[in-house]
């Protein structure tokens, strides 16, 4: 469960990477898309780690 907890902490910290509403333009949109993809990947990894910790390792 420690892995899932650490991934959750990282996901929380990574949420600060998302740009605020004042950002505009194509570069800001790409950055936001990459940050969102990172957060989605961390959420997936967190869920997988929780499953492994619960003994549902696939």
Element (H, E) at 21: none
Indicate the domain borders of the chain: 2-14+24-53
As a whole number of Å, the end-to-end CA separation of the chain is 16
Q: What is the mean pLDDT of residues 44-56?
A: 89
pLDDT in tens, 19-39: 776 778 888 888 888 888 998
Residue 46: pLDDT band (50, 70, 90) is very high
Minimum mean pLDDT among 2-6, 8-12, 17-21, 42-46: which range? 17-21
Q: Is pLDDT above 60 for 57?
A: no
- More confident: 57 or 31: 31
């Amino acid at each position: 469960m420690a892995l899932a907890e650490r991934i959750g902490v990282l996901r929380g910290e990574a949420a600060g990477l998302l740009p605020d509403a004042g950002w505009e333009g194509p570069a800001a949109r790409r950055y936001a898309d990459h940050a969102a993809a990172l957060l989605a990947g961390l959420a997936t990894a967190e869920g997988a780690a929780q499953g492994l910790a619960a003994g549902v390792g696939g």
